[in-house]
Structure 1
Amino acid sequence: MQPSLSSGIIRAIQLADNAAMAGVIRQVMTEFGAVGEGYSINDPEVDFLYEAYQSPGKAFFVIEHERQVKGGAGIAPLKGGDPGICELQKMYLLPSIRGMGLGKQLLVHCLEVARKLGYQQCYLETVKRMEKAQQLYLSFGFRPLPGPLGNTGHYTTDAWYVLDL
């Protein structure tokens, strides 16, 4: 299913989207100073998102705006966590599409898919300096946590949230 947006579409990632989505991740993480050890920018799957999200219980979606991939996010089982908990992963949007409601639509879609996959909770981790993203998560009912869940390997995050699905 491809939710139609007034200014683009949300669709499942395709093999041809790997380079563009890796570029989005690197640009946004660099913008927020989230580079170096312990950040998801160094995850091996950044360059191979299509392949990384082909397993059961996983899904990754991109925002295509003006015929270009300008954002995306994925759902996957929380590594080292309870099997009923998924993680919202690598949700990043380029500055050119922020404030248009596309991130909200992407999050709605990811949470719908998580429910369909049978998850009971959705976890995410981020950094406090990504203030607008945290406002979005809170508006959806995500609750702040005192520390991380699971074992994602992202030891530099400093904000953790969970949502009952």
Structure 2
Amino acid sequence: MQLRLFRDSHAVTIIAAIHMRDEQPTIRPATNDDAPALRELIFTILREFNLPPDPDNTDADLNDIESSYFERGGRFDVLVDGSGEIIGSVGLHRVDEGMIELRKMYLRSNERGKGLGTRLLDHALTEARRMGCRRMTLETASQLKTAIGMYTRAGFRPMCGTIHTKRCDQAYEMEL
């Protein structure tokens, strides 16, 4: 995109804003400073699918992302648009030396259908392999049909066993 400068600073601002919206979203590590925006994003999406947020238990990890993920050998990344606004998230929670759990993979509703969910999942799989993990698990809810389709296309298979998250009714696993 070619950017022309005009004498009117308002026109420059508008053109710069249009240019920022055209930029591809980027993935970066989350920090605790992102926690309020992440809670807002994730809780809004949960309510969209009639799933209850659980800030005192399942979602308590969003209160201290750094200690819940990074300090335990995992990671938590956010997808940000050209203006720096968080539009998606994905967490990798270390279970043990060779196993990691995919958590908190969410994408704002107006960003769906653009391949960004697949991009987040591919990023998570790449990072898990880089971290030396051999197996990834996840829990999800049957209402999240599009996400489940994406997981199965990527190679996840249904898993038997205990589901730990109250709002979830399905579990999947994948050998990395």
Mark yes or no: TM-score above 0.5: yes
Letter in 1 for 2:171: W
Letter in 1 for 2:172: Y
Q: Cα distance, 1:84 vs. partner?
A: 1.8
Question: Is contact 1:18–1:50 with CA below 8 Å preserved after alignment?
Answer: no
Regions of 4+ moved over 6 Å? none
The aligned residue for residue 34 of structure 2 is 17
Supply the distance in 2 between the matched residues of 1:47 and 1:99 (Cα, whole angstroms): 29
SS in 2 for 1:160: strand
Q: Equivalent pairs: percent with the same residue? A: 31
State which drifts further: 107-116 or 50-59. Answer: 50-59
Q: Is the aligned partner of 1:159 residue 2:170?
A: yes
> What 5-or-longer segments of structure 2 have no aligned partner?
1-21
Alignment RMSD (CA, Å): 2.3
Q: Cα distance, 1:118 vs. partner?
A: 1.1
Q: Cα distance, 1:25 vs. partner?
A: 0.9
How many residue pairs match? The answer is: 154
Letter in 1 for 2:129: R
**The structure with more helix, counted as a fraction of residues:** 2
> What 5-or-longer segments of structure 1 have no aligned partner?
none
Cα 1:70/1:33, change in 2 over 3 Å: same
Equivalence map 1:35-50=2 (5 Å): 35=52, 42-50=58-66
Supply the distance in 1 between the matched residues of 2:105 and 2:169 (Cα, whole angstroms): 16
Structure 2 length normalisation: TM-score?
Answer: 0.78
Equivalence map 1:51-62=2 (5 Å): 51-62=67-78
Question: Is contact 2:99–2:134 with CA below 8 Å preserved after alignment?
Answer: yes
Structure 1 length normalisation: TM-score?
Answer: 0.83
Equivalence map 1:111-150=2 (5 Å): 111-148=125-162
